[in-house]
Structure 1
Amino acid sequence: MSDDSRPSPAQVRAETGPHTGVAAVIPAAGRGVRLGPGAPKALRTLNGTPMLIHAVRALAASRHVTLVVVVAPPDGAPEVKSLLDAHALPGGTPSGSWGSTDFLVVPGGESRQESVKLGLDALPPGHDVVLVHDAARPLVPVDTVDAVIEAVRDGARAVVPALPLADTVKEVEPAATPGDPEPVVATPARARLRAVQTPQGFDRDTLVRAHETVTDDVTDDASMVEQLGLQVVTVPGHEEAFKVTRPLDLVLAEAVLARRRLNDGF
């Protein structure tokens, strides 16, 4: 499809009928220290393209997503906006556009939780389903994105993609000194455990309420909804939606992209 023939966000919303609009928030304000010195993690490149661009493309690949809000480092919003503009399709809206998906860039906060809240605050009306996606998961397949959206539209207040664990997990008593032996205190039943991924999907009102209510430092937004006493459900995740946090993950991500180019021409 040529750029001129791509549907506008308004056309996509009209075609999807009574469904509510879907927006995605991508917190990309972290430094990513485990990847070593250099650019922030979201701006590290895979196949010559920043991970953030891959992540935005992954969400924009869903025809349901009509807006992506990228939460930049507090002092890096102009740089991120320029980066997105450079990769956007021509003829977009004033905020920028990737085909049928618009994007906005807002400055982030000192924590991931604060950054997601700032992204939520920037959402215009009309987007009643909200995805929260890690910029460090640049290769999530569109089928996973759509599965999360469909589960929210079917009535779930909070949805997370998840995978069964391959390894046995041990609960330990943390050592007082890093590197010292740690005693095992329990072995949870592996069949009941899941490794959680993103995008996580939410009814907008529920996510807003969670961010207004929960003040504990959390590692994901679904756990905030759990603290409200509301149910979180899972849908099948995907092996390629792994999080890029260490140098070896960059190697694996490059390998996935190489396989996609070979198989799909992407």
Structure 2
Amino acid sequence: MNERRVAERLWLIVPAAGRGRRMGAELPKQYLALAGRPVLAHTLSRLHQAFPEACLCLCLDPGDAHFDAGWVPFDQWRRSPGGVERADSVRQALAALAGEARDDDLVLVHDVARPCVTVADLHQLLAVLREDSAGGLLASPVADTMKRDDGYERVSQTEPRRGLWHAQTPQGFRYGLLCRALHEAVASGLEVTDEASAVEALGLKPRLVPGRRDNIKITHPEDLALAEHILAAQQGTSSPNHIYEETP
């Protein structure tokens, strides 16, 4: 193992400042109950199972009154103020790591609303990222027929699905590259919906790392029940209230 890899640190950024308006719930979706615990607690637990030595930066709304530090299993972690958009939260988290993170340190950004990501997929992604300078992300090939609407909820055309992937998280890049990509996106007025699109704008091609389709993002009310069943299935039990513990 060379000196760069010995010195390399792994940073996790979890944006968790969203309001979750599409859920139509009183609480932000990261605090909704999932198998007896908040969604946020499940997500952080899964990341910790895969990367117990990583340093976590949790992006929270400055006025968040629901957060409980007892849900954080990491020894090394900090709270960072969340922004209006996901990209704002990630940029502020990267700024908070300045002076500690090295340019070649790996940074994984993971949606707080994806509690079903598996330890195996997390390990596979990290192995790929260590060998690819352009970074990468978990993703799954599109299986459904894709329709483009005409702006009025009618089919305009059918899009070929060959070569299309559903982007997931985590998405991972070297610290220096991710800082540059998000800075240039802001400077050019480019609207980015994920970290990969900012890196793509630099002319790079991040790796698509095949991940399980059950790495769903809780967005709509029905997703919460689905996530409970996924956690139960991953554990191999029929009870959706059984808390998942995956063996690394």
Deviation track 1:84-124 (CA, whole Å, cap 9, x = no partner) reads 3x235xxxxxxxx53xx522111111111111111111223
**Aligned counterpart for 1:54 among listed residues 42, 49, 54:** 42
**Aligned counterpart for 2:148 among listed residues 155, 171, 181:** 171
Distance 1:19 1:190 in 2: 42
**Aligned counterpart for 1:45 among listed residues 8, 33, 38:** 33
- Structure 2, unmatched stretches of 5+, are 238-242
**Aligned counterpart for 1:125 among listed residues 101, 108, 116:** 101
**Aligned counterpart for 1:209 among listed residues 164, 180, 189:** 180
Q: Work out whether 1:258 is the aligned partner of 2:242.
A: no
In the TM superposition, 1:68-87 aligns within 5 A as 68-76=56-64, 79-80=66-67, 83-84=68-69, 86-87=70-71
Shift of 1:241: 0.9
In the TM superposition, 1:216-227 aligns within 5 A as 216-227=190-201
Distance 1:19 1:170, change over 3 A: farther
Q: Work out whether 1:241 is the aligned partner of 2:215.
A: yes
Match of 2:41, SS state, is: helix
**Aligned counterpart for 2:156 among listed residues 168, 184, 188:** 184
Match of 1:170, SS state, is: strand
Shift of 1:183: 4.3
Give the conservation status (yes or no) of the 8 Å contact 1:156–1:233: no
Shift of 1:203: 1.2
Q: Work out whether 1:115 is the aligned partner of 2:89.
A: yes
Give the conservation status (yes or no) of the 8 Å contact 2:54–2:76: yes
Equivalent residue number for residue 55 of structure 2: 67
Distance 2:201 2:53 in 1: 27
Distance 2:24 2:163 in 1: 34
Equivalent residue number for residue 4 of structure 1: none
- Give the partner amino acid of 2:124: A
- Give the partner amino acid of 2:121: T
The two structures, once aligned, show a CA RMSD in angstroms of 2.2
Q: Work out whether 1:136 is the aligned partner of 2:108.
A: no
Q: Work out whether 1:230 is the aligned partner of 2:204.
A: yes
Deviation track 1:230-251 (CA, whole Å, cap 9, x = no partner) reads 1111011112211011111111
Equivalent residue number for residue 240 of structure 2: none
- Give the partner amino acid of 1:51: V
Match of 1:26, SS state, is: strand
Give the conservation status (yes or no) of the 8 Å contact 1:26–1:134: yes
**Identity of aligned pairs, percent?**
34
Distance 1:64 1:58 in 2: 10
- Give the partner amino acid of 1:241: N
Equivalent residue number for residue 27 of structure 1: 15
- Structure 1, unmatched stretches of 5+, are 1-15, 89-96, 176-180
Distance 1:169 1:260, change over 3 A: closer
Give the conservation status (yes or no) of the 8 Å contact 1:23–1:65: no
Shift of 1:261: 4.5
Distance 1:45 1:63 in 2: 24
Shift of 1:18: 2.1
Distance 1:202 1:195 in 2: 18
- Give the partner amino acid of 1:208: C
Shift of 1:54: 1.0
Which range moved further: 128-137 or 106-115?
A: 106-115
Give the conservation status (yes or no) of the 8 Å contact 1:152–1:159: yes
Give the conservation status (yes or no) of the 8 Å contact 1:24–1:65: no
Q: What is the count of residue pairs matched by the alignment?
A: 231
Give the conservation status (yes or no) of the 8 Å contact 1:25–1:119: yes
TM-score (norm 2): 0.85
